Amino acid sequence: MKTLLVFVLTVQFLLWQAHSVEFRCEFGYRLDHGYPCQVTKGLLVNDNEAVTFVGNHQAGKDDNDLKLISFSGNRHLRLHYFPRETFSKFPHLDDFSLQNCQLRNLKNGDFKDAGNLRNLNLDSNELFQLNSTTFAGASNLQWLGLASNDMRTINKDAFKGLSKLQMLILSQNKLHELHRETFHDLVDLLEILVDRNELETLPAGLFDRSLKLQRIWFQNNKINVIDPQFFTPLQNIKFINLEGNVCVNELFRKQYRETEVMLTDALKNCNPTPTAKTSKN
Protein backbone atom coordinates (compact mmCIF):
# COMPACT_ATOMS: atom_id res chain seq x y z
CA MET A 1 0.00 0.00 0.00
CA LYS A 2 2.83 2.37 0.89
CA THR A 3 4.62 1.55 -2.37
CA LEU A 4 1.45 2.30 -4.33
CA LEU A 5 1.05 5.65 -2.58
CA VAL A 6 4.63 6.63 -3.37
CA PHE A 7 4.08 5.65 -7.00
CA VAL A 8 0.90 7.75 -7.25
CA LEU A 9 2.58 10.79 -5.70
CA THR A 10 5.56 10.39 -8.02
CA VAL A 11 3.29 10.27 -11.07
CA GLN A 12 1.37 13.35 -9.88
CA PHE A 13 4.64 15.22 -9.37
CA LEU A 14 5.88 14.30 -12.83
CA LEU A 15 2.57 15.37 -14.37
CA TRP A 16 2.76 18.67 -12.49
CA GLN A 17 6.27 19.21 -13.82
CA ALA A 18 5.11 18.36 -17.34
CA HIS A 19 2.48 21.09 -17.12
CA SER A 20 4.76 23.80 -15.79
CA VAL A 21 4.97 26.99 -17.83
CA GLU A 22 8.21 28.51 -19.02
CA PHE A 23 8.50 32.20 -19.88
CA ARG A 24 11.34 33.39 -22.08
CA CYS A 25 12.84 36.57 -20.62
CA GLU A 26 15.11 39.00 -22.49
CA PHE A 27 16.95 41.07 -19.88
CA GLY A 28 18.23 44.61 -20.20
CA TYR A 29 16.44 46.03 -23.25
CA ARG A 30 15.29 49.36 -21.69
CA LEU A 31 17.81 50.57 -19.19
CA ASP A 32 15.99 53.90 -18.80
CA HIS A 33 13.43 52.02 -16.68
CA GLY A 34 15.95 50.38 -14.44
CA TYR A 35 16.94 46.78 -15.09
CA PRO A 36 14.09 45.29 -17.17
CA CYS A 37 12.87 42.03 -18.68
CA GLN A 38 10.80 41.68 -21.84
CA VAL A 39 8.85 38.41 -21.87
CA THR A 40 8.63 37.12 -25.43
CA LYS A 41 7.19 33.65 -25.13
CA GLY A 42 4.90 31.65 -22.82
CA LEU A 43 1.40 30.20 -22.45
CA LEU A 44 -0.48 30.09 -19.14
CA VAL A 45 -3.99 28.83 -19.81
CA ASN A 46 -4.67 26.60 -16.78
CA ASP A 47 -4.93 27.55 -13.13
CA ASN A 48 -2.21 26.57 -10.63
CA GLU A 49 0.42 25.79 -13.27
CA ALA A 50 3.98 26.29 -12.07
CA VAL A 51 5.77 29.21 -13.71
CA THR A 52 9.48 29.62 -14.38
CA PHE A 53 11.45 32.37 -16.12
CA VAL A 54 14.44 31.54 -18.30
CA GLY A 55 17.00 33.85 -19.88
CA ASN A 56 20.51 35.18 -19.49
CA HIS A 57 21.11 38.09 -17.17
CA GLN A 58 23.29 41.02 -18.11
CA ALA A 59 26.79 40.90 -16.65
CA GLY A 60 26.77 41.65 -12.94
CA LYS A 61 22.96 41.42 -12.68
CA ASP A 62 20.64 38.85 -11.10
CA ASP A 63 16.97 38.39 -10.17
CA ASN A 64 17.24 40.86 -7.29
CA ASP A 65 18.14 43.68 -9.69
CA LEU A 66 15.02 43.43 -11.87
CA LYS A 67 12.74 46.50 -11.67
CA LEU A 68 10.48 46.14 -14.70
CA ILE A 69 8.86 43.14 -16.35
CA SER A 70 6.79 43.50 -19.50
CA PHE A 71 4.57 41.00 -21.30
CA SER A 72 3.81 42.08 -24.86
CA GLY A 73 0.71 40.76 -26.59
CA ASN A 74 1.86 38.59 -29.47
CA ARG A 75 1.08 35.16 -30.83
CA HIS A 76 3.67 33.57 -28.57
CA LEU A 77 2.10 34.94 -25.36
CA ARG A 78 -1.22 33.99 -23.80
CA LEU A 79 -2.05 34.24 -20.10
CA HIS A 80 -5.53 33.41 -18.87
CA TYR A 81 -4.25 33.56 -15.29
CA PHE A 82 -1.86 35.91 -13.55
CA PRO A 83 1.70 34.55 -13.10
CA ARG A 84 1.84 35.07 -9.34
CA GLU A 85 5.31 33.53 -9.00
CA THR A 86 6.69 36.66 -10.66
CA PHE A 87 6.97 38.60 -7.39
CA SER A 88 8.72 35.87 -5.42
CA LYS A 89 11.15 35.34 -8.31
CA PHE A 90 11.89 39.08 -8.66
CA PRO A 91 11.43 40.54 -5.13
CA HIS A 92 12.32 44.15 -6.04
CA LEU A 93 9.99 44.44 -9.00
CA ASP A 94 8.24 47.84 -9.00
CA ASP A 95 6.78 48.00 -12.53
CA PHE A 96 4.69 45.24 -14.13
CA SER A 97 3.04 45.49 -17.55
CA LEU A 98 0.75 42.76 -18.88
CA GLN A 99 -1.20 44.09 -21.86
CA ASN A 100 -3.18 42.35 -24.58
CA CYS A 101 -2.39 38.86 -23.31
CA GLN A 102 -5.97 37.51 -22.95
CA LEU A 103 -5.80 37.68 -19.14
CA ARG A 104 -9.19 36.51 -17.81
CA ASN A 105 -8.76 35.98 -14.09
CA LEU A 106 -7.32 37.73 -11.06
CA LYS A 107 -7.45 35.64 -7.90
CA ASN A 108 -6.89 36.37 -4.23
CA GLY A 109 -3.23 35.82 -3.50
CA ASP A 110 -1.93 36.85 -6.91
CA PHE A 111 -0.19 39.89 -5.36
CA LYS A 112 0.74 38.53 -1.94
CA ASP A 113 4.47 39.08 -2.60
CA ALA A 114 4.07 42.37 -4.49
CA GLY A 115 5.00 44.71 -1.66
CA ASN A 116 7.44 46.72 -3.80
CA LEU A 117 5.16 47.04 -6.82
CA ARG A 118 4.29 50.66 -7.72
CA ASN A 119 2.96 50.46 -11.28
CA LEU A 120 0.63 47.77 -12.67
CA ASN A 121 -0.70 47.85 -16.23
CA LEU A 122 -3.40 45.29 -17.09
CA ASP A 123 -4.96 47.16 -20.02
CA SER A 124 -6.49 45.45 -23.06
CA ASN A 125 -7.23 42.04 -21.56
CA GLU A 126 -10.40 40.00 -20.92
CA LEU A 127 -11.03 40.64 -17.22
CA PHE A 128 -14.76 40.70 -16.45
CA GLN A 129 -14.81 41.32 -12.69
CA LEU A 130 -12.74 42.25 -9.65
CA ASN A 131 -13.31 40.25 -6.49
CA SER A 132 -12.81 41.25 -2.87
CA THR A 133 -9.22 42.24 -1.95
CA THR A 134 -8.00 41.39 -5.45
CA PHE A 135 -4.79 43.40 -4.98
CA ALA A 136 -4.04 42.44 -1.38
CA GLY A 137 -0.29 42.54 -0.87
CA ALA A 138 0.38 45.36 -3.35
CA SER A 139 0.22 47.96 -0.59
CA ASN A 140 2.62 50.38 -2.32
CA LEU A 141 0.82 50.46 -5.65
CA GLN A 142 0.56 54.01 -7.04
CA TRP A 143 -0.62 53.52 -10.64
CA LEU A 144 -3.19 50.91 -11.78
CA GLY A 145 -4.40 50.47 -15.35
CA LEU A 146 -7.46 48.31 -16.11
CA ALA A 147 -8.66 49.98 -19.30
CA SER A 148 -10.16 48.14 -22.29
CA ASN A 149 -11.17 44.98 -20.48
CA ASP A 150 -14.64 43.42 -20.21
CA MET A 151 -15.26 44.55 -16.63
CA ARG A 152 -18.90 44.35 -15.54
CA THR A 153 -18.70 44.26 -11.74
CA ILE A 154 -16.26 45.48 -9.10
CA ASN A 155 -16.55 44.21 -5.55
CA LYS A 156 -16.73 47.10 -3.09
CA ASP A 157 -13.57 45.76 -1.40
CA ALA A 158 -11.62 45.09 -4.60
CA PHE A 159 -9.22 48.01 -3.96
CA LYS A 160 -8.94 47.46 -0.22
CA GLY A 161 -5.45 48.20 1.07
CA LEU A 162 -4.40 50.43 -1.82
CA SER A 163 -4.06 53.54 0.32
CA LYS A 164 -1.12 54.86 -1.76
CA LEU A 165 -2.80 54.59 -5.16
CA GLN A 166 -2.72 57.91 -7.02
CA MET A 167 -3.98 56.98 -10.50
CA LEU A 168 -6.78 54.52 -11.37
CA ILE A 169 -7.82 53.83 -14.97
CA LEU A 170 -11.07 51.94 -15.62
CA SER A 171 -11.80 53.38 -19.07
CA GLN A 172 -13.65 51.44 -21.75
CA ASN A 173 -15.17 48.62 -19.73
CA LYS A 174 -18.81 47.60 -19.22
CA LEU A 175 -19.49 48.86 -15.71
CA HIS A 176 -23.16 49.58 -15.02
CA GLU A 177 -22.83 50.73 -11.41
CA LEU A 178 -20.39 51.38 -8.59
CA HIS A 179 -20.96 50.73 -4.90
CA ARG A 180 -20.54 53.90 -2.86
CA GLU A 181 -17.68 52.30 -0.88
CA THR A 182 -15.69 51.07 -3.90
CA PHE A 183 -12.99 53.74 -3.60
CA HIS A 184 -13.02 54.30 0.16
CA ASP A 185 -9.49 52.97 0.71
CA LEU A 186 -8.04 55.22 -2.00
CA VAL A 187 -7.17 58.12 0.27
CA ASP A 188 -4.22 59.30 -1.88
CA LEU A 189 -6.09 59.15 -5.19
CA LEU A 190 -5.34 62.13 -7.46
CA GLU A 191 -6.92 61.10 -10.75
CA ILE A 192 -9.53 58.56 -11.86
CA LEU A 193 -10.77 57.63 -15.33
CA VAL A 194 -14.06 55.74 -15.66
CA ASP A 195 -14.99 57.02 -19.11
CA ARG A 196 -16.67 54.94 -21.83
CA ASN A 197 -18.52 52.59 -19.52
CA GLU A 198 -22.28 52.11 -18.99
CA LEU A 199 -22.73 53.87 -15.65
CA GLU A 200 -26.19 55.31 -14.98
CA THR A 201 -25.71 56.64 -11.44
CA LEU A 202 -23.05 58.50 -9.47
CA PRO A 203 -23.99 57.90 -5.82
CA ALA A 204 -23.17 60.21 -2.93
CA GLY A 205 -20.22 59.01 -0.90
CA LEU A 206 -18.26 57.54 -3.81
CA PHE A 207 -15.29 59.84 -3.13
CA ASP A 208 -15.94 60.71 0.52
CA ARG A 209 -12.43 59.59 1.51
CA SER A 210 -10.56 60.53 -1.66
CA LEU A 211 -10.11 64.10 -0.48
CA LYS A 212 -6.97 64.70 -2.58
CA LEU A 213 -8.75 63.92 -5.84
CA GLN A 214 -8.00 66.52 -8.54
CA ARG A 215 -9.13 65.09 -11.88
CA ILE A 216 -12.25 63.04 -12.72
CA TRP A 217 -13.12 61.54 -16.09
CA PHE A 218 -16.68 60.12 -16.41
CA GLN A 219 -17.45 61.12 -19.99
CA ASN A 220 -19.41 58.93 -22.42
CA ASN A 221 -21.36 56.86 -19.94
CA LYS A 222 -25.16 56.73 -19.55
CA ILE A 223 -25.38 58.84 -16.40
CA ASN A 224 -28.84 60.21 -15.66
CA VAL A 225 -28.60 60.36 -11.87
CA ILE A 226 -25.99 62.33 -9.92
CA ASP A 227 -26.60 62.72 -6.23
CA PRO A 228 -26.59 66.41 -5.18
CA GLN A 229 -23.93 65.63 -2.55
CA PHE A 230 -21.65 63.78 -4.96
CA PHE A 231 -19.16 66.64 -5.39
CA THR A 232 -19.36 68.04 -1.84
CA PRO A 233 -16.17 66.42 -0.43
CA LEU A 234 -14.08 67.23 -3.52
CA GLN A 235 -12.47 70.44 -2.33
CA ASN A 236 -9.28 69.96 -4.40
CA ILE A 237 -10.94 69.16 -7.72
CA LYS A 238 -9.37 70.91 -10.74
CA PHE A 239 -10.86 69.12 -13.72
CA ILE A 240 -14.11 67.24 -14.35
CA ASN A 241 -15.22 65.66 -17.62
CA LEU A 242 -18.86 64.53 -17.75
CA GLU A 243 -19.61 65.18 -21.40
CA GLY A 244 -21.55 62.65 -23.41
CA ASN A 245 -23.93 61.67 -20.58
CA VAL A 246 -27.73 61.80 -20.52
CA CYS A 247 -28.19 64.49 -17.88
CA VAL A 248 -25.28 66.85 -18.59
CA ASN A 249 -26.29 69.92 -20.57
CA GLU A 250 -24.46 71.60 -23.45
CA LEU A 251 -22.90 74.25 -21.22
CA PHE A 252 -20.95 71.63 -19.29
CA ARG A 253 -19.84 69.87 -22.47
CA LYS A 254 -18.16 73.04 -23.68
CA GLN A 255 -16.65 74.20 -20.40
CA TYR A 256 -15.57 71.91 -17.59
CA ARG A 257 -16.93 73.44 -14.40
CA GLU A 258 -15.57 73.10 -10.90
CA THR A 259 -17.28 75.53 -8.53
CA GLU A 260 -20.45 74.55 -6.71
CA VAL A 261 -22.56 77.14 -8.56
CA MET A 262 -21.30 76.07 -11.96
CA LEU A 263 -21.82 72.40 -11.18
CA THR A 264 -25.37 73.10 -10.05
CA ASP A 265 -26.09 74.77 -13.38
CA ALA A 266 -24.30 72.17 -15.49
CA LEU A 267 -26.06 69.26 -13.81
CA LYS A 268 -29.55 70.78 -13.60
CA ASN A 269 -30.99 68.04 -15.81
CA CYS A 270 -29.84 65.25 -13.50
CA ASN A 271 -32.33 63.56 -11.24
CA PRO A 272 -31.92 65.23 -7.79
CA THR A 273 -33.45 62.28 -5.94
CA PRO A 274 -31.58 59.19 -7.16
CA THR A 275 -33.32 55.88 -6.65
CA ALA A 276 -31.01 53.55 -8.54
CA LYS A 277 -29.54 50.75 -6.45
CA THR A 278 -25.82 50.47 -6.02
CA SER A 279 -24.04 47.18 -6.56
CA LYS A 280 -23.63 44.81 -3.62
CA ASN A 281 -20.55 43.27 -5.15
CB 134 within 8 A of CB 105: no
| Residues 205 and 116 occupy one common structural domain | yes
CA pair distance 253, 251, nearest whole angstrom: 5
Of the residues 79, 101, 123, the one at which a domain ends: 101
Residue 216: which residues within 8 A CB-CB, separation 6 or more? 191, 192, 234, 237, 239, 240, 241
Query: Can you list the alpha helix ranges (DSSP code H) found in the chain?
Result: 2-18, 86-89, 250-254, 260-266
Residue 5 lies in a domain: no
| Residues 156 and 42 occupy one common structural domain | no
Instruction: Provide the CB-side half-sphere exposure for 169 (13 A, CA).
Output: 15
Tell whether the model's pLDDT for residue 57 goes beyond 60.
yes
Residue 14 lies in a domain: no
Residue 61: which residues within 8 A CB-CB, separation 6 or more? 27, 28, 35
Burial of 71 (0-12, 13-18, 19+ CB in 10 A): buried
Of the residues 57, 79, 101, the one at which a domain ends: 101
Average pLDDT over the chain reads 83
CB 211 within 8 A of CB 233: yes
Tell whether the model's pLDDT for residue 20 goes beyond 70.
yes
Domain that holds residue 32: 20-101
The total number of structural domains in the chain stands at: 2
Predicted pLDDT of residue 170: 98
| Residues 138 and 71 occupy one common structural domain | no
Predicted pLDDT of residue 272: 52
| Residues 49 and 185 occupy one common structural domain | no
Q: Rounded to two decimals, what is the model's pTM?
A: 0.84
As a whole number, mean pLDDT of residues 226-255 equals 74
With cut-offs at 50, 70 and 90, classify the pLDDT of residue 240: confident
Tell whether the model's pLDDT for residue 1 goes beyond 90.
no
Query: Is 21 or 261 the better-scoring residue by pLDDT?
Result: 21
